[in-house]
């Protein structure tokens, strides 16, 4: 489904990502892990069109998408969440999801303004879909709550719900568990599991090795922009270079 080939990104003299090759098959959940500053988010920015690579290419469903823009890629089904959640804090939870639907190219602005019969039908569909997404992520009970007042874990779930409104084929999650307490991590892990069971392809950035190992069939490890290991969670756990990279960064592998 996704093929990253020789992907390289330089920021001035810094090689944030170096000659990276990663392939992801349909329905797979692949983890992208590594210490702070390893280049994980930069890979997401490159795949989703927020940055242009210095070298290399990204192929999605057989098509070269290297120079495509985020909006176009979202329309094709490549959707990401952000490390810092982006929600509309003054909107209710439900309105955040309804609004996310309008960011898609399917409903034209004029159709909405003119309020045609077909646009009214689409609006009803969107409302129904929005409730379904909220049910799926477990936010339906707080559908009427102002998003900015939600607890941190709920805000992060809302970030995932907003991404789901774009009907992704490939969902890229950037540290979905960051700042969550143990209970919230558990809930979010169950949600990612459900998404996986529904056949979604997932690329998961995670700082927390334990969570990544529980969810992913395969893990790619980055350090200083380079892939230092790739394999099953069991292989990665035992990998000396990986352990060294995490210890070198003063971090502990859980």
By CB under 5 A, name the binding residues for Mg ion: 40-41
Which residues make Cβ contacts (< 8 Å) with residue 230, sequence separation at least 6? Answer: 22, 218, 219, 220, 221
**Total of residues contacting ligand ATP (CB under 6 A):** 13
Q: Considering the complex, state which of residue 37 and residue 138 has its C-beta at the smaller distance from ligand ATP.
A: 37
Beta strands in the chain (DSSP E): 2-11, 14-24, 29-33, 55-60, 63-64, 78-80, 170-174, 201-205, 218-223, 226-231
Using the rule CB under 6 A, is 31 a contact of ligand ATP?
no
Choose the one of Mg ion, ligand ATP, none that binds residue 214, judging by a C-beta under 5 to 8 angstroms depending on kind. Answer: none
> From residue 58 to residue 97, what is the string marking binding to ligand ATP with x (rule CB under 6 A)?
-------------------------x--------------
Q: What does the alpha-carbon distance between residue 102 and residue 233 come to, in Å, rounded to a whole number?
A: 38
- Residues of this chain, 182-211, that bind ligand ATP according to CB under 6 A: 207
Minimum gap (Å) between residue 42 Cβ and Mg ion: 8
Q: Measured between alpha carbons, how far is residue 140 from residues 29, 94, 146, 151 in Å?
A: 26, 8, 13, 15
Q: Which of 41, 188, 201, 223 binds ligand ATP (CB under 6 A)?
A: 41
Collapsing DSSP to helix, strand or coil, 182 comes out as helix
Minimum gap (Å) between residue 226 Cβ and ligand ATP: 12
Q: Are strands 218-223 and 29-33 parallel, antiparallel or unpaired?
A: parallel
> CB–CB of 221/230 below 8 Å?
yes
Q: Considering the complex, state which of residue 147 and residue 220 has its C-beta at the smaller distance from ligand ATP.
A: 220
Q: Considering the complex, state which of residue 185 and residue 222 has its C-beta at the smaller distance from Mg ion.
A: 222
* Chain centroid offset of residue 195 CA: 12
Residue nearest Mg ion, Cβ-based: 41
**Residue found under tokens 């502990």:** 252
Q: Which of 18, 29, 42, 201 binds ligand ATP (CB under 6 A)?
A: 42
Q: Considering the complex, state which of residue 31 and residue 39 has its C-beta at the smaller distance from ligand ATP.
A: 39
173 forms beta bridges with 204
Q: Considering the complex, state which of residue 41 and residue 66 has its C-beta at the smaller distance from ligand ATP.
A: 41
Minimum gap (Å) between residue 228 Cβ and ligand ATP: 13
Q: Considering the complex, state which of residue 42 and residue 130 has its C-beta at the smaller distance from ligand ATP.
A: 42
């Amino acid at each position: 489904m996704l093929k990253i080939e020789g992907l390289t990104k330089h920021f001035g003299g810094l090689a944030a990502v170096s000659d990276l090759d990663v392939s992801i098959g349909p329905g797979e959940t692949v983890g992208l892990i590594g210490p702070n500053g390893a280049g994980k988010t930069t890979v997401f920015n490159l795949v989703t069109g927020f940055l242009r690579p210095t070298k290399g290419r990204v192929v999605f469903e057989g098509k070269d998408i290297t120079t495509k823009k985020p909006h176009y890629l979202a329309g094709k089904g490549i959707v990401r969440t952000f490390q810092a959640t982006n929600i509309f804090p003054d909107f209710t939870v439900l309105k955040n999801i309804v609004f996310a639907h309008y960011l898609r190219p399917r409903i034209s602005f004029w159709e909405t303004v003119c309020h045609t019969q077909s646009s009214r039908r689409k609006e009803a569909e969107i409302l129904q879909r929005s409730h379904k997404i909220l049910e799926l992520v477990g936010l339906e009970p707080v559908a009427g709550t102002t998003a900015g007042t939600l607890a941190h874990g709920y805000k992060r779930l809302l970030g995932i719900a907003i991404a789901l409104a774009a009907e992704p084929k490939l969902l890229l999650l950037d540290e979905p568990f960051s700042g969550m307490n143990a209970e919230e991590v558990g809930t979010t892990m169950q949600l990612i599991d459900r998404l996986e069971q529904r056949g979604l392809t997932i690329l998961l950035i995670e700082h927390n090795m334990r969570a990544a190992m529980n969810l992913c069939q395969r893990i790619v490890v980055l350090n200083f922009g380079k892939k230092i290991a790739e394999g099953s969670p069991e292989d990665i756990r035992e990998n000396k270079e990986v352990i060294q990279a995490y210890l070198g960064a003063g971090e502990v592998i859980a």
